[in-house]
Structure 1
Amino acid sequence: MGTSKEDRAIKGSRAKTIHLSHDYTYPAGWVWGVVIDLDHLKTITKGLVSFRNLPSGQIYQGQHIQVDVSLFSWMPYQPYEMTVIALDHEKMSFQSDEVGAGVKSWRHSLRVSPHKDGCRISEEIEIDAGMATPIFAAWARFLYRRRHKPRLQILASLEQGKGNHQTTTNFQAH
């Protein structure tokens, strides 16, 4: 596979880094609240990834999550782990280190940046899956792009609720 503008080889390893961004016409706080809610993660990955033992609520710094994942809900479940290594509500950003299901390392960084028309989610995903890295990189690009439409649907339902977004943006200390 060739290297695209979204990918950059990491020197000294087989890892690839994927860069993605999506714009939203919703307030940054609403989008941030959706991004850090594990219940919304289930919704935005429905049909692509199924989870067993995924906790509810908002992610928090230092959180270690051990789940089983199944692609397309018909492939065998495999163990997967995620550790939230950094989370900053003020900057609306987080970083996680993930491993499992054939992946040696999956480092995900996300930030929500306000702009005059709403906000932008910018993501960087660094993946090392050995010789299977190109396949996992293609999967990541597909998976993260597919999250945009369900997020828009969640945000539209929050907007219709006029005020229900406050529960989504009520950040909890852990």
Structure 2
Amino acid sequence: MKPVILTHDYPFPPERVWALATDYDALKEVMDGLVTFEGVPEGRTVTGQKMDVTTSLFGRLPPQPYYMEVVECDDDAMVLRSSERGMGVRSWQHTVTVEPTAEGSRLTDRIEIDAGWRTPIFRAWARFMYGRRHAPRMRMLSAGWGD
């Protein structure tokens, strides 16, 4: 399985980008218009969290069951790994890393997807969806999120 890998640079300290990337309320905001979630907790991700949620693409398609587990959330290393499945996906393994750069920080999403014959469709969706998160994150950080 070839992973989908996207990197985005931010002119903000890595600690702020990390805090934003691991906050469930921020997740709902950056996913606004793409996917709605029911059953996602408030606060930050924590290693070991297991969630049975419902998701709806674009908030218009029928809600579907979806399972998410936080395999690792390491604040010191700024690494988040989740294992997910549902909506026709057998396995969605997502790793988020944030690292410092000379200009601020770099967030990298690495996603491995197994959806059988639909894998290429879900890979395209992942590339679009994770790419679209960058602009809302920039707006939120520019507006002072995490200061």
TM-score normalised according to structure 1 size: 0.82
Indicate the SS of the match to 2:123. helix
Structure 1 unaligned runs (5+)?
Answer: 1-9, 11-15, 160-164, 167-174
TM-superposed deviation, 1:87:
1.4
RMSD value over aligned CA atoms?
A: 1.0
Aligned letter for 1:139?
W
Matched, 1:90 2:76: yes
Tell me the distance in 2 between the aligned counterparts of 1:34 and 1:65: 20
**Any residues of structure 2 matched to 1:132-147 within 5 Å, and which?**
132-147=118-133
* Higher alpha-carbon Rg: 1
Give the total of aligned pairs.
Answer: 147
Tell me the distance in 2 between the aligned counterparts of 1:102 and 1:38: 23
Tell me the distance in 2 between the aligned counterparts of 1:78 and 1:47: 16
Which runs of 4 or more aligned residues in structure 1 lie more than 4 Å from their structure 2 counterparts after TM superposition? none
**Any residues of structure 2 matched to 1:6-25 within 5 Å, and which?**
10=1, 16-25=2-11
Aligned letter for 1:83?
E
Indicate the SS of the match to 1:39. helix
**Any residues of structure 2 matched to 1:1-174 within 5 Å, and which?**
10=1, 16-158=2-144, 165=146
Aligned letter for 1:20?
L
Tell me the distance in 1 between the aligned counterparts of 2:65 and 2:9: 32
Tell me the distance in 1 between the aligned counterparts of 2:73 and 2:26: 17
Tell me the distance in 1 between the aligned counterparts of 2:136 and 2:124: 20
1:13 alignment partner in structure 2:
none
Structure 2 unaligned runs (5+)?
Answer: none
Indicate the SS of the match to 1:158. coil
1:162 alignment partner in structure 2:
none
Tell me the distance in 1 between the aligned counterparts of 2:43 and 2:22: 8
Deviations 1:16-45, CA, capped at 9 Å, x for gaps: 410110000001000000000000000000
Indicate the SS of the match to 2:51. strand
TM-score normalised according to structure 2 size: 0.97
Indicate the SS of the match to 2:143. helix
Indicate the SS of the match to 2:121. helix
TM-superposed deviation, 1:139:
0.3
Indicate the SS of the match to 1:131. helix
TM-superposed deviation, 1:82:
0.8
Shifted more, 125-134 versus 150-159: the winner is 150-159
